Structure 1
Amino acid sequence: MEQRKKIAVIVAGGAGTRMGSATPKQFLELAGRPVLYHTIAAFVNAYADMQVVLVVPEAHFGPARQVLEGFAAPPPVTLVKGGETRFHSVKNGLQTVQEKAVVFVHDGVRPLLSAALIHSCYEQALLHGNAIPVTDVKDSLREVNGTGNKAVNREQFRIIQTPQTFLSEQLLPAFELPYDPLFTDEATVVERLGHRIHLVAGEESNIKITRPLDLVIAQALLNG
């Protein structure tokens, strides 16, 4: 299989509002380390040649550098200023990609992804151009509209995770498109250019930490 440069664009722009904390959620402590530390470590431990682009608000550069100082050997991380929206933040991060690569775009507050998932996304992106991790919907769903609601078949839906992973030839041209509020994630941007989106199995433990309960669950998962 072809080998490519590997770049993880980690977007960490949360303010911690839903956490009810003055500390942004990516800097909250999880198992003795900031959440963001675990996220970065997952990527640099998955591949020895992984490069990380960390996209954070300029006001968070100081705390971000403190996170990096927590590593025994400082990983190869480039700090980039975030933008007005996730789209603009990712676009800023992609400005650092100067050659063909497999690019992982990941939420900074998903710290529990495994090396196996990162490997799967990398390998499937090489085969299909992109790889989007998903999990099954386990709850019943209803579609709500202006006149009422109706049951829908949950088998036809999937829950989207990150890292959303792409060949740079797909991802970089897509982010030259004008911003559209309908761009809810990177897959929707790439899809706009006509690329077919390839889904891969995600992980139930790959949770996004947005509320206090999520931090409790993440701690329990780390405890085994």
Structure 2
Amino acid sequence: MAQTPEYAIIVAGGSGTRMQQDIPKQFIEVAGKPILMHTIERFYEYNPGVRLIVVLPQEQLTTWRSLCQKHHFRLFHMMVPGGATRFGSVKNGLGAVMGEGLVAVHDGVRPFVEVDTIRAAYEAAAKYGSAVVTVSPKDSIRELVGETSRAVPRAKYKLVQTPQVFQASILRRAYEQPEQEHFTDDASVVESIGERITLVEGSYRNIKITTPEDLILAEAFAGKV
């Protein structure tokens, strides 16, 4: 039986603003190479046959090519220019997905996603149509209610990570609709067309590198990989 094609759309549209650096965060080096390279390697490690689609702002494509040459980075991937928003960027990446298959969408600045997590997400999506990686909150949670707040049961909540994996036909149908303000991730886009979201257990190591504090953690994690 032929194996279902697997795609990974790696969305890397960040700037260095919150990182307090001039360089876009996906290009900041951790353990000697740009964060985005670590991320791509994780998916390649999971499956060397995965079809990698890297979505970057148009003005960063040349820089990325130069970085790949500088670091002798030769893992094959397509490059697609991003849109004005994350929704637009994922939609552009979807344009490079041919036919049916399983499509993961992953943040370019989550370089420590574990191979077992990626595998579990693809397997769940193959079975149920969708798979979204989440972890349980460690901290207590309070809900804002008008001018005050109230405690809510932590066990009823999950923190959402990536990858988020979907059958290609489902993801395409979801991204045919107009963008809406409450679309914060692919799960919210897919859920809005009536599809059920299946959760897969993630890892606290699967951090999204967005602030200087995250970089300290990233260097520590990279030293243990």
> Which bin holds the TM-score, normalised by the shorter protein?
over 0.9
Structure 1 gap ranges (5+): none
CA contact (8 A) 1:36 1:67 kept: no
Shift of 1:145: 2.4
* Offset at residue 70 of structure 1 (A): 5.6
Show the 5 A alignment for 1:8-157. 8-69=8-69, 74-157=74-157
Whole-Å Cα distance in 2 between the matches of residues 6 and 33 of structure 1?
Answer: 26
Structure 1 residue 48: Cα displacement: 1.7
TM-score, with normalisation over the residues of structure 1? 0.96
Aligned to 2:184: 184
For residues 147 and 27 of structure 1, what CA distance do their matches in structure 2 show?
41
CA deviation map 1:39-93 (0-9, x unaligned)? 1111112102111111111110012213433665722211111111100110010
- Aligned partners of 2:97, 2:109: CA distance in 1, in Å? 22
The change in CA–CA distance for 1:148 and 1:73 in structure 2 (over 3 A counts) is closer
Structure 1 residue ranges, 4+ long, deviating more than 4 angstroms after superposition? 70-73
Contact 1:44–1:51, Cα closer than 8 Å, also in 2: no
Aligned length: 224
The CA RMSD measured in Å over matched residues stands at 1.4
SS at match of 1:163: strand
Partner of 1:197: 197
The amino acid across from 1:108 in the alignment is G
SS in 2 for 1:49: coil
Task: Name the SS for the 1:170 alignment partner.
Answer: helix
The one-letter amino acid paired with 1:179 is: E
CA distance in 2, matches of 1:67, 1:190: 34
Q: Is the 8 A contact 1:43 1:115 kept in 2?
A: yes
Structure 1 residues 100 and 203: CA distance shift in structure 2, 3 A? same
Give me the TM-score of the superposition, normalised by structure 2.
0.96
